[in-house]
């Protein structure tokens, strides 16, 4: 699964990268994105016209909430969706067919099981995983919108799609986020594309050569901690 990631790019940089307008809402750099946190994501805005499909940057809340759930309910947020079953699970299937997004991230965290010093317990070492070329990871996501209790605004929530680990990641964890190459962005985002078989072909593990990783401080496990020191390698 993916339960923490870093998203530090400002809106204007993302707008240039995805060739869209700069978002009106400002989000600061976040080195410890946790569930229920707001982040930038890219989706399609059709403007209500068949031929007006264009990319846009939205502010998304991490943790998918179903359309049928009540506003401000305590229903569990769904932060990940498995690529193998995303098209059949009731909570995800409709969004997978027509509401897909891209979540840009500097990198993500995963906890690697290691032998404890006492030889009895299994310890968990947090690892930071990122692209070798330091470019952003463009994680595949699905989204839902739901009106707030006032009915005046919408909350847009998302889940990150995960797949089996590639050879590099398998030494750290058995799952990893789906990372999309730039060549797949348009096809993935297009809400008119409901070819499930083709979409699922895009949910394969990214090549292991794309990634690097290093151990980081355990304080990343506390969502109240935030700052560039969280992604720094341990001495």
Catalytic residue among 58, 110, 138, 144: 110
- Known catalytic residue: 138? no
Contacts of 92 (CB under 8 A, 6+ apart): 64, 78, 81, 85, 86, 142, 159
Which pair of structure tokens corresponds to residue 61? Answer: 């809340």
The one catalytic residue among 2, 43, 101, 138 = 2
- Residue 10, Cβ neighbours under 10 Å: how many? 14
H or E element at residue 198: helix 196-201
∠ CA 19-93-163 to the nearest 5 degrees? Answer: 70
Active site residue 2: yes
**Which letter, b or e, does each residue of 149-179 get, where b requires 16 or more Cβ atoms within 10 Å of its Cβ?**
eeeeeebbbbbbbbbebbebbeebbebbbbb
Closest by Cα among 212, 216, 206, 204 to 133: 212
* Residue with tokens 């059949």, as numbered in its chain: 88
Q: Is 122 helix (H, G, I), strand (E, B) or coil?
A: strand
List the catalytic residues. Answer: 2, 110
């Amino acid at each position: 699964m993916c339960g923490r990631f870093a998203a530090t790019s400002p809106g204007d940089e993302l707008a240039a990268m995805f060739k869209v307008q700069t978002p009106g809402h400002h989000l600061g750099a976040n080195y410890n994105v946790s569930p229920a946190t707001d982040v930038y994501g890219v989706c399609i805005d059709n403007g209500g016209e068949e031929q007006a499909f264009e990319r846009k940057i939205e502010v998304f809340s991490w943790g998918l909430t179903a359309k049928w759930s009540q506003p401000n309910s305590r229903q569990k947020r769904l932060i990940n969706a498995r690529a193998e079953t995303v098209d059949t699970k009731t909570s995800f299937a409709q969004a997978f067919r027509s509401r897909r997004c891209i979540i840009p991230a500097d990198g993500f965290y995963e906890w690697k099981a290691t032998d404890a010093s006492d030889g009895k317990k299994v310890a968990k070492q947090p690892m930071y995983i990122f692209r070798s070329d330091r470019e952003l990871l463009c994680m595949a996501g699905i989204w839902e919108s739901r009106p707030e209790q006032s009915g005046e605004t919408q909350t847009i929530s998302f889940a990150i799609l995960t797949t089996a680990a590639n050879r590099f990641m398998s030494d750290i964890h058995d799952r990893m986020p789906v990372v999309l190459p730039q060549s797949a962005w348009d096809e993935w985002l297009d809400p008119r594309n409901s070819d499930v078989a083709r979409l699922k072909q895009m949910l394969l593990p990214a090549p292991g050569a794309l990634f690097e990783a290093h151990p980081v401080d355990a304080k990343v496990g506390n969502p109240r901690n935030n700052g560039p020191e969280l992604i720094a390698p341990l001495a």
